[in-house]
Chains A and B, each alone.
Chain A
Amino acid sequence: MSGRIAVIGGGHNGLTAAAFLARAGRDVVVVEARPVLGGLAARENFHGEFFVPGLLHHTSGVRRRLIEELDLGRFGLTWCDPPDVWAPAKGGSGLWLRGDCIEGSLAYRDDERFAAYRAFIDRVRRAVDPVMDAPPADPKGRLWPLFTLGLNLRRLGAKDMVELLRIGPMSTFDWMHELFQGERLRAALAASAIEGTFAGPRSPGSAANLLIRECTAGAEVQGGPASLISAVAGAARSHGAEIRTHARVSRITVGSDSAVTGIEIDGGEVIRADIVVASCDPKTVFLDLIGSEYLPARLATDIGRIRTRGTTAKVHLAISGSIESKDGEPVEALRTGESLDDLERAFDAAKYGEISSRPVLDVRVPSLSDPDLCPEGHHVVSILAHFAARDLRGSWNDIQRETLGRVVIETLAEHVPGLSERIVAREILSPIDIESHYGVSGGHIYHGEHAPDQLLFMRPTIQCAKYATPIRGLFLCGSGSHPGGGITCGPGALAAKTILGQ
């Protein structure tokens, strides 16, 4: 097969797939609904001369090894170390997580324990990391990938292997309690376990999320998500891919033999293609873009069952001055939530369709390393706030949005004195806003919750986990596929490799 390939969605995954396919000499066209490229990683102007480099703001999860072939350095990509993270505490100065080191007032022997934890992560990374760089091993599929997986596990040695299997189903709460004495440290680490999930630290299985997060964290992209996008888009273009914006796909057309024939753009334009690669979320692909007559009933059921309960809100602040820790150190990354119970209570609200009264904040100040994002003497603050239910009891309106903005700012202001007075402008995006701006089902930033039954060979469903779908010629390449959500470029790269391998 060597006909035209249409890629739906110009986010990091769509562009990555396009770049790989174009590089292999395929005729590729990327269509992006919005005026800008990047999707959740797009640079956004939220006020005057203030920009954020992406709705998602971490790039440490990018599968560097997978996209090496694209030689993105040629297109302006440079890597840097992730910033130190401040975990403030109300009473004292909190903790600083600086890579493998930790600073601040620690409980008895927690420094040793932290070192042991980091060492454990370093060891098990050898088994976990490769899983993210290959299509998911399928227990019913070919034996070789399974064997490799088993071998990688076994190579960890009996103790670490059993420990890894034991921790997988645990709750972060239990794991952190086993590991550390200090509550602030436990909470600081646990915060990343619950992002993009419908879980609190006490939910079993959340430890696996944390483990994966820790094992896959690497270098960041200098300049954040927006720089990544411009590099990948540059690579795609240089290999001849055509990239169109302002082109919203209304339909994937399917022929009578249940094979795709192309896509239709809003306004009626038809683009013929033998292969359609969709980076939008699986629910949108199958329930909105494919005619129901082509959808096997079981697939419709399984797709409908994908859990996409958005719980993440985004707040952008334009402030005068910067954010500093209690010791006066400028802060580029910050995590709130002082105890595991703080995190748990924040999640409780989501279960009942509410907005947390004290959400857990994942804060970045991107302008600290990229001053172009705002006027001098100012900074932009990018805040991912957990949890605010997308399916709010009584539905989202301006009052609810205001409430959300208020609790987020109040929570941050607990650690940043005088914050409210320094705010020049703000933008509040509820999960509903994220859904409508970015076209992600349920407003879910990861195109589907990260849960054991929605990962690996079950992501997004067991029939579509290897990027190919029951509709001939239709492939998935978005966050809804393995290795999942966040800015990783992984699904895009793996989908492209799958297509090229066929």
Chain B
Amino acid sequence: MMKSYDAIVIGGGHNGLVCAAYLAKAGRRVLVLERRYVLGGAAVTEELYPGFKYSVCSYVVSLLRPHIIRDLELARHGLEILPLECSFSPHIDGPGLVRWPDPEQTRREIAAYSQRDADIYPLFGRAMMQIARWVKPIIDMVPPDPTSFRLGQVRDLFHLGRRIRDLDDQTLARLVKMMTMSAADFLDEWFESDALKAPMSVSGIIGTYLGVRSPGTAYVLLHHYMGEIDGAFRAWGLSRGGTGQISLAIASAARSLGVEIRTEAPVAKILIDDKTASGVVLEDGTEYRAKAVVSAVDPHRTFLGLVGFEHLDDDFVAQVRRFRMRGSSGKVNLALDRLPDFTCRPGDGLHVRGDIAVAPSMEYLERAYDEAKYGMYSRRPYLNVVIPSLTDPSVAPPGKHVMSIFVQYAPYHLADGAEMWTDKREQFGDTVVETLAEYCPGLKEAILHRQVLTPWDLEQEMGLTEGNIFHGELGLEQLFFLRPVPGWARYRTPIRRLWMCGSGTHPGGGVMGAPGALAAQTLLEERAL
């Protein structure tokens, strides 16, 4: 059997689907091949226990580019984002801290810890917004290569330089600080209360193999504020029906634009003749030919797996190899018989309907990281808990709940080897449940079903190399024109007609869809098909 397409997209995650949809929108014939039985990659909903729908991996919509929602008419295809507007950080002793949607209420909460911090908190938000405004266009641009002399790229660089010169001193200083400092140091400049700083700092470490004291973690704080200037209210939220719904909506949009999508179609190899990709061959031997092959799979798998060394020069292989993608997080999903009470704030309320961060102090977070550094999962990890069933009753039977617990740190490379995760999985799950139960004593008794995902599982089941949820760590040295490999940051690869569109390319991970959209835009502009 042989069929021919304009483009074949490998991987039916959100980026692959976005890329396919945009290409189809431009009138191209596109095929998407997904290895698993469901679409969505890491943005997937699965019913692993009857009646309970888990957002298995990715669990919140953070920075899904609003223009994608508009362009692909995702609302019409079933995407609905529900608010997640509260941040609750429980403590074992004392009332903990809730940041409410109401600024004055938040002010009072913070004032219980520090009057100064309470005053400064909204000012901090405004300062961040100014920086976010500056950074936002970078997310939506194809990174220029600073070594290139091509007119368009020199112009882009010049434009970037001019934007820097247009900044006032204070904003420039803040920008530099933001890009280079640790979340802890950056927040120390503004705030004094540990109870506030700890839950704020965690957005800097999610998915990274870094601690809150590691330089370079401050700039992720921006993401939280980016949503507010994005032209999409509630850019932070839950997708109704689970995160998988995002993928399904994109898939539906893609299909309506004519994209052909095949699941359970694992690609074995990309067909390459004379350094040019001509199609793919599936594990069952089926071959598909296309003018372009676009890989949404991470760079390691793409080049070291699907392409193979024989087609690449040593230098490039070395650079792909050194592209760091150490996974550092795990996930525990629970089906609950009832809503357990948090000791410090019992009962239902807005506070349990937002995101709940077990991050009682900076030291707690840093110690969690220190354990991970030396190859051990944190004995008292940072947890980010969401109970989507409180906001979206469609994901659990009436009165019952689904709890999604994102866990950090769970380093892929355990001191005694990554394979040891299979032995330690349930033990790790116990640690997570016990940690949370310290804040939420009735938790254990309420558990009907538990799913534990270690970085090893993320690799084996989801195809995320080393369990890295971002397809590559988000350090400055692996971003922008350096992502994934210097000189190959514009979705192109050394193999002609092979392109990349996954989170391993600019602007990186998270359920943003930006790499997929930018890749499609590049392919079309470069007349690749």
Could you say which of A162, A178, A452 contacts B482, with CB atoms under 8 Å apart?
A162
Query: Is B373 a contact of A204 with CB atoms below 8 Å?
Result: no
Q: Please name all residues of chain A whose beta carbon is closer than 8 Å to the beta carbon of B366 when the two chains form the complex.
A: 351-352
How many Å lie between the Cα of A101 and that of B210 in the bound state?
A: 34
Interface membership of chain A positions 128-167, coded 1 if the CB is closer than 8 angstroms to chain B and 0 otherwise: 0000000000011000000000000010001001110111
Q: Counting CB contacts under 8 A, is B102 at the interface?
A: no
- Assign chain B's interface to a size class: 35 or more
Query: Is B173 a contact of A165 with CB atoms below 8 Å?
Result: no
Q: Please name all residues of chain B whose beta carbon is closer than 8 Å to the beta carbon of A302 when the two chains form the complex.
A: 173
Query: Is B146 a contact of A162 with CB atoms below 8 Å?
Result: yes
Query: Is B482 a contact of A166 with CB atoms below 8 Å?
Result: yes
Query: Is B215 a contact of A202 with CB atoms below 8 Å?
Result: no
Query: Is A167 a contact of B477 with CB atoms below 8 Å?
Result: yes
Shortest distance between the CB of A164 and any CB in chain B (Å): 11
Interface membership of chain A positions 342-358, coded 1 if the CB is closer than 8 angstroms to chain B and 0 otherwise: 00100010011000000
Binds B, one of A76-84, A110-118, A322-330, A455-463: A455-463
Shortest distance between the CB of A349 and any CB in chain B (Å): 10
Give the one of B164, B170, B172, B180 with max A CB within 10 A. Answer: B180
Interface membership of chain B positions 144-183, coded 1 if the CB is closer than 8 angstroms to chain A and 0 otherwise: 0011000000000000010011010110110011001110
Binds B, one of A168-176, A250-258, A394-402, A490-498: A168-176
Query: Is A199 a contact of B147 with CB atoms below 8 Å?
Result: no
Q: Counting CB contacts under 8 A, is B476 at the interface?
A: yes
Q: Please name all residues of chain B whose beta carbon is closer than 8 Å to the beta carbon of A344 when the two chains form the complex.
A: 373
Interfacial residues of chain A within 70-104, with CB under 8 A of chain B in the complex:
none
How many Å lie between the Cα of A167 and that of B487 in the bound state?
A: 15
How many Å lie between the Cα of A161 and that of B83 in the bound state?
A: 45
Interface membership of chain A positions 244-262, coded 1 if the CB is closer than 8 angstroms to chain B and 0 otherwise: 0000000000000000000
Query: Is B176 a contact of A161 with CB atoms below 8 Å?
Result: no
Chain A residue nearest in CB terms to B482: A166
Q: Counting CB contacts under 8 A, is A406 at the interface?
A: no
Could you say which of A140, A199, A341 contacts B215, with CB atoms under 8 Å apart?
A199
Q: Please name all residues of chain B whose beta carbon is closer than 8 Å to the beta carbon of A165 when the two chains form the complex.
A: 146, 482
Query: Is B180 a contact of A453 with CB atoms below 8 Å?
Result: yes
Interfacial residues of chain B within 44-61, with CB under 8 A of chain A in the complex:
none
Q: Counting CB contacts under 8 A, is B486 at the interface?
A: yes
Q: Counting CB contacts under 8 A, is B185 at the interface?
A: yes
Could you say which of B164, B181, B322, B482 contacts A453, with CB atoms under 8 Å apart?
B181
Q: Please name all residues of chain A whose beta carbon is closer than 8 Å to the beta carbon of B322 when the two chains form the complex.
A: 178
Query: Is A204 a contact of B216 with CB atoms below 8 Å?
Result: yes
Query: Is A204 a contact of B487 with CB atoms below 8 Å?
Result: no
Q: Counting CB contacts under 8 A, is B475 at the interface?
A: yes
Given contacts A162-B146, A170-B477, A341-B374, contact A205 B215 (CB under 8 A): yes
Query: Is A169 a contact of B373 with CB atoms below 8 Å?
Result: no
Q: Counting CB contacts under 8 A, is A305 at the interface?
A: yes
Shortest distance between the CB of B113 and any CB in chain A (Å): 20
How many Å lie between the Cα of A472 and that of B476 in the bound state?
A: 38
Q: Counting CB contacts under 8 A, is A451 at the interface?
A: yes
How many Å lie between the Cα of A463 and that of B169 in the bound state?
A: 8
Could you say which of B173, B367, B370 contacts A458, with CB atoms under 8 Å apart?
B173
How many Å lie between the Cα of A302 and that of B475 in the bound state?
A: 26
Query: Is A139 a contact of B165 with CB atoms below 8 Å?
Result: yes
Query: Is B172 a contact of A462 with CB atoms below 8 Å?
Result: yes
Q: Counting CB contacts under 8 A, is B324 at the interface?
A: yes
How many Å lie between the Cα of A28 and that of B413 in the bound state?
A: 61
List 7 A–B pairs whose Cβ atoms lie within 8 Å, in order of A's numbering: A139-B165, A166-B477, A171-B475, A205-B216, A305-B189, A451-B215, A462-B172
Name A's B-contacting residues (CB within 8 A).
Answer: 139-140, 154, 158, 161-163, 165-171, 174, 178, 198-199, 202-206, 298, 302, 305, 307, 341, 344, 348, 351-352, 451-453, 458, 461-463
